[in-house]
Amino acid sequence: MTATHTPPRTRTRTRTRTRTRLSALILLATMVAGAALADANKKGDGTVIYRSTDEQGQTVFSDQPSQGAEQVEVKEPNRAPAVKPTHRPEKKKTDTYGSGYEVTITHPADGDFIANGLLGTNVSATVNPPLLPKHQLEFLHNGESLGAGSSYQTRIDRLTPGGHQISARVLDRDGKILGQSDITSITAQWPGSR
């Protein structure tokens, strides 16, 4: 039997080709496995977030996985639909009913948006000239009385989602209107409402 002798140069080329092929095969297998894992981890909207810690001990969030990173469960964000504001009528000149009282709602402002109607809102007004002791200021919410008295402010404890109208008027002892504000229109929403 005759032994075949391979020159050293040929052996080196063969080893290099084998290593290159093996490296390429490992790289290809890693890429295929990574792509399959990424597809398996995708949520319905395609969002995948990873959390890891960098060299300084800071938490890092990324959409690209890194060594030692763990996948974070991404919850659907709280999305509320846009609120369509109600049509506001043209402002009319304040009717003082011949009494000389000018009534103005100072808070909330016309067109305000109340993000959390569950918390309600404060309502304030100015009256010029100041109320006489025999007169009262009545606040109205959507045409319903919130009460009358000598205070220039009141509170609406809870606002349902949607449009609201606020006004104030000065009354004498007999309930006659002596002055009235323009209507202030606001829009309220509840957190998490869809």
> Where exactly are the structural domains of the chain?
47-76, 102-188
Note whether 155 and 127 are within 8 A (CB). no
Q: Which residue type is seen at 139?
A: F
pLDDT given for residue 107 in this prediction: 94
Name the architecture of domain 102-188: Sandwich (2.60)
Integer Cα distance of 78 and 64 in angstroms: 24
Q: Quick: pLDDT tens for 139-148.
A: 999 999 999 9
Integer Cα distance of 169 and 167 in angstroms: 7
Mean pLDDT per 10-residue section of the chain, whose length is 194 residues: 59 71 76 64 64 87 86 76 71 54 93 89 93 93 92 92 93 91 92 68
Contacts 24+ apart (CB under 8 A), 56-60: none
Question: In angstroms, what CA-CA distances link 98 with 94, 102, 127, 167?
Answer: 11, 10, 14, 19
Q: Which residue type is seen at 72?
A: V
pLDDT given for residue 15 in this prediction: 72
Rg (CA), the chain: 37
Integer Cα distance of 67 and 65 in angstroms: 7
> What per-residue string of b and e applies to 76-85 under the rule 16 or more CB within 10 Å gives b?
eeeeeeeeee
pLDDT given for residue 96 in this prediction: 44
pLDDT given for residue 105 in this prediction: 95
